[in-house]
């Protein structure tokens, strides 16, 4: 007897509470193998292919491409068990109550279920059974009398979803909202969530519901702000807010907006900068690459300089715990670097940068950059940074005042390296000059420490041999 199992959007790790369906990789009626990717979703941190721990026939999908689902919402149902023939498994779809195992179905399901815990990226972690035990009467579907609730669960994605409108909400009862981002959006726009009807499972309010409700509230306001009837109605202004294009802050763009806003709100930052003669650094890199072996990138050399500077000024490799009113100095340097991608700005993290050679850093920067361009970064690749290096010189600009990557304490910005007049050994010469900018959290140190860090970085750029004293 085939069983219909429901696969829900798993916890993707790092505190993520929702994901947007980008592309379905299977259709209803397809046969899927255990741990086969079935859908591609986009979170606030990365694009992820989600594997299904069940093997069988897909009987239903939930959510169209572009739909945002909370963690724990149904993704699809799979008919498993029986002889494994697609025809028999497909017959289990109508009216079959979804289950995730049970005493009666245990033996039938075990061969079609990987048992892996879907937390983080993929199901390659240690196998661990997470099955909810049900009574036999609940675990085994009864074809002669299917439950109405079970039929609703197996409904295809084409079923219309309720529309979120003001005035059709929850009254004084509890408001079904999981995502703190949804609550924040409603709070910022003055929307009472009790007046919103959710389109998610069991009335769960999604971000799309809040956006629809906000749009519905704004339409009457726009209608009542027209000119008096006796006066001619002016033509819409091209600069008016109502005529502008609205771009939702979602996915990576939304995550960047939230993080930068939080940084500016919580961190009292300050910036100092200095020009440095990078001629000797460029010559040293050219000599290293001319000697054969793997090529060394400029970013890798700057990373090595940052690591040694942080060893001298550990205050800048820290974070602030305001609840405990403590500065937490971190033992290892996990170096983030800004990377521009088609999906927006992301900051991959090179773990344990202080233990890597220039060659190893070059290889890791290349790997993470390529993964970022292909939207293949995992949540683990984008979290855990303790200090960020931002090479905005690749955009052809000289200077900037970087915004700290919360909850870190500092960021070093590097402008373009270009020929400029420079006094070298008492004479005017044309040298390769770069501007370095350090933005730091003034809670972790004062200007003397920040200036000392930046001056040490500039000295290493001007005289790479300075690093030899620390090796």
Distance, in Å, from the CA atom of 280 to the CA atom of 266, rounded to the nearest integer, reads 39
Query: Please, what is the angle between helix 298-312 and helix 279-290, to 10°?
Result: 120
**How far, in Å, are 2, 134, 135, 431 from residue 104 at the CA level?**
12, 9, 8, 78
Residue 442 annotated among the catalytic residues of the structure: yes
**How far, in Å, are 185, 208, 221, 242, 443 from residue 160 at the CA level?**
25, 15, 28, 29, 52
Pairing state of beta strands 410-414 and 387-391?
A: parallel
Distance, in Å, from the CA atom of 153 to the CA atom of 80, rounded to the nearest integer, reads 17
Residue from 103, 106, 49 nearest 80 by CA? 106
Of 135, 308, 334, 442, catalytic:
442
Three-class SS of the chain: CEEEEEEECCECCCCCCEEEEEEECCCCCCEECCCEEEEEEECCCCEEEEEECECEEEEEECCCCCCEEECCCEEEEEEEECCCCHHHHHCCCCCCCCECCCCCCHHHHHCCECCECCECCCCCCCECCCCCCCCHHHHCCCCCCCCHHHHHHCCCCCCCCCCCCCCCCCCCCCCCCCCHHHHHHHHHCCCCHHHCCCCCHHHCCCHHHHHHHHHHHHHHHHHCCCCCCCCCCCCCCCCCHHHCCCCCCCHHHHHHHHHHHHHHHHCCEEEEEEEEECHHHHHHHHHHHHCCCCCCCHHHHHHHHHHHHHHHCHHHCEEEECCCCEEEECCCCCEEECEEECCEEECCEECCHHHCCHHHHHHHHHHHHHHHHCCCCCHHHHCCCCEEEEEHHHHCCCCCCCCCCCCCCEEEEECCCEEEEEEECCEEEEEEEEEEEEEEECCCCCHHHHHHHHHHHHHHHHCHHHHHHHC
Could you list the active site residues?
A: 442
């Amino acid at each position: 007897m085939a069983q219909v199992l429901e696969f829900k959007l798993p916890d993707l790790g790092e505190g993520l509470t929702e994901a947007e369906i980008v592309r379905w990789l299977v259709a209803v009626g397809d046969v899927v193998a255990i741990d086969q990717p079935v859908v591609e979703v986009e979170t606030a941190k990365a694009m992820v292919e989600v594997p299904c721990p069940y093997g069988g026939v897909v009987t239903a999908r939930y959510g169209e491409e572009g739909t945002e689902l909370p963690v724990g919402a149904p993704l699809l149902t799979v008919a498993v068990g029986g002889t494994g023939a697609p025809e028999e498994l497909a017959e289990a779809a109508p009216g079959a109550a979804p289950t995730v195992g049970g005493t009666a179905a245990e033996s039938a399901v075990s061969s079609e279920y990987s048992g892996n815990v879907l937390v983080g990226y993929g199901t390659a972690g240690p196998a661990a059974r997470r099955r909810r035990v049900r009574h036999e009467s609940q675990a085994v579907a009864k074809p002669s009398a299917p439950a109405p609730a079970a039929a609703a669960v197996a409904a295809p994605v084409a079923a219309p979803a309720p529309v979120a409108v003001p005035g059709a909400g929850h009254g004084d009862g509890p408001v079904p909202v999981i995502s703190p981002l949804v609550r924040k959006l409603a709070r910022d726009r003055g929307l009472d969530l009790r007046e919103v009807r959710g389109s998610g499972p069991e009335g769960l309010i999604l971000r799309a519901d809040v956006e629809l409700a906000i749009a519905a509230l704004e339409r009457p306001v726009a209608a009542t702000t027209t000119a008096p009837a006796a006066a001619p109605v002016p033509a819409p202004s091209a600069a008016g807010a109502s005529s502008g294009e609205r771009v939702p802050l979602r996915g990576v763009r939304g995550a960047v907006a939230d993080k930068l806003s939080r940084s500016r709100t919580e961190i009292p930052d300050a910036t100092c900068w200095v020009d440095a003669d990078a001629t000797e650094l460029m010559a040293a890199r050219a000599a290293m690459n001319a000697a054969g072996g793997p090529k060394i990138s400029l970013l890798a050399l700057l990373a090595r300089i940052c690591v040694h500077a942080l060893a001298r000024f550990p205050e800048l490799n820290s974070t602030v715990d305001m609840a405990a009113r403590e500065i937490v100095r971190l033992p290892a340097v996990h170096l983030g670097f800004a990377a521009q991608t088609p999906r927006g700005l992301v900051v991959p993290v090179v773990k344990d940068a202080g233990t890597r050679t220039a060659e190893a850093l070059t290889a890791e920067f290349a790997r993470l950059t390529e993964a970022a361009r292909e939207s293949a970064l995992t949540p683990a690749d984008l979290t855990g940074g303790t200090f960020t290096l931002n090479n905005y010189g690749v955009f052809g600009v000289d200077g900037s005042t970087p915004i700290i990557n919360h909850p870190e304490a500092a960021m070093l910005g590097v402008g373009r390296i270009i020929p400029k007049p420079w006094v070298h050994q008492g004479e005017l010469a044309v040298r390769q000059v770069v501007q370095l900018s350090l933005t730091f959290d003034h809670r972790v140190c004062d200007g003397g420490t920040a200036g000392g860090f930046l001056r040490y970085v500039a000295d290493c750029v001007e005289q790479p041999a300075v690093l030899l004293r620390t090796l």
